[in-house]
Amino acid sequence: MALRHMTAGDSHGPGLLGILEGMPAGLAITEELLLPELQRRQAGTGSGGRMKIERDRARILAGLHAGRTSGAPLGLLIENLDFANWQNHQPPEYTVPRPGHADLAGAVKYGLDQTRPISERASARETAMRVAIGTVARLLLAQAGIGIYSRVVMLGGIPAQGRPAEELLDEAELRRIHSACEESPVRVDDAAAEAAMQAAIDNARESGDSLGGSVELFACNPPIGLGTHVAWDRRLDTRLAAALMSVPAVKAVEIGIGSDVGVRPGSLVHDQVDADNPAHGARSSNRAGGIEGGMTNGMPVWLRVHLKPVATLQKTLHSVDLQSGESRRARYQRSDVCIVPRACSVLEAELALVLADALLEMFGQDRLDLLLERLAAHRGRSLVEHVRHV
């Protein structure tokens, strides 16, 4: 692993800490460059009251020299503005775990008779720092000519109409779709679906319920060979699935056509090699999602990620009191109704971190200029020249 990162901090603590180790020296980074992605994470229909309080901004505390990475670990801090509000009163002890949260399993694992220590760390608030760290990775990928995009394809059971991802081979089209989704409060490029999704979120809010959905992620112009087939834990698909599944609320990850591989014949699953089309990695389709044998094959990497509805409901669910053992309903806490639009920035950050790690692994990580020289040489060879070069 070339890149290592770690976060620390609680949902209502003073702030979130992040350390990113392994970035090459020479990458220009400013706090302003990190800000747009943090703002994206806070936007979208379905957000709760917390997003009206926080104004996330990542402070860079270490790892830069004259505005560029020095090769040392980057240290980041995001302050929790809501922390001050919690100092004005003593929070109650929460002894009834919420179904769908880490509350019950965490309390049993760590021998606690209340759930707050678990919920504070398990909270999706932690993903704000992941977005900050992932944005640094995106800056590196941009230098390498790799773009990251996303769109919501389903929310609350309502699908968004659009061109199938396996047919999206052109980065310009993906950039257009991504830009159109950025203008939508539910991040879709479909006016009818947008209206229906917003109505569904409003209905869920009124009834005290919550909604989940699905997001598609894309990474365009990856070089052939990121990842490897030689070890299970170094396969790119293994790493991507693990990273995306680590995001709270994610319950399933599909690469390429995903579960459809079980219902289609092989001739409609595997991407034929097109020797006359080297600009698209010599493939005429992208059902594999840009990954074969644990490695990028030159096509856009694309994945579909499925997120469950928010587990904190106004329509509280049956649970148990950890102190008395009696049946109780879970306590309602301020929460989102739907996190799917906001999740796009978090999922993009995880995708960027995995790809940046694989890029550094393949082309070196000490200096950005040397990495880009090696990458340019790799991209400049034809498929035949790559084999002859070896």
Q: What is the pLDDT of residues 195-212, one digit of tens each?
A: 999 999 999 999 999 999
Closest CA to 213 of 201, 223, 225, 224: 201
CB neighbours (10 Å) of residue 89? 7
The whole-number pLDDT of residue 30 equals 97
Task: Say whether pLDDT at 48 is over 90.
Answer: no
Tell me the angle at which helices 31-41 and 340-363 cross, rounded to the nearest 10 degrees.
Answer: 140
- 309-317 mean pLDDT: 86
Entry pTM: 0.93
The whole-number pLDDT of residue 86 equals 65
The whole-number pLDDT of residue 1 equals 81
Per-residue tokens: 211? 């909604």
Q: What is the pLDDT of residues 113-144, one digit of tens each?
A: 889 899 989 998 999 999 999 999 999 999 99
- CATH 3.60.150.10 corresponds to the domain 4-389: yes
What is the rounded distance in angstroms from the CA atom of residue 161 to the CA atom of residue 189? 8
The whole-number pLDDT of residue 314 equals 83
Task: Say whether pLDDT at 291 is over 60.
Answer: yes
Closest CA to 37 of 104, 167, 157, 136: 136
Closest CA to 297 of 308, 284, 281: 281
Cα angle, residue 127 at apex, residues 122 and 128 outer, rounded to 5°: 130
Transcribe 197-227 into DSSP letters. Answer: HHHHHHHHHHHT--B-EEEEEEEESPPTT-B
The whole-number pLDDT of residue 331 equals 78
pLDDT band at 390 (very low <50, low <70, confident <90, very high): low
Cα angle, residue 224 at apex, residues 222 and 229 outer, rounded to 5°: 115
Closest CA to 51 of 26, 90, 80: 80
Q: What percent of the chain has pLDDT over 70?
A: 93
Q: What percent of the chain has pLDDT over 90?
A: 77
Q: What is the pLDDT of residues 229-243, one digit of tens each?
A: 999 999 999 999 999
- For 141, counting Cβ atoms within 10 Å of its Cβ (0-12 exposed, 13-18 middle, 19+ buried), the class is buried
Q: 328: part of which helix (H) or strand (E)?
A: strand 327-329
Closest CA to 353 of 254, 244, 258: 244
What is the rounded distance in angstroms from the CA atom of residue 189 to the CA atom of residue 187? 7
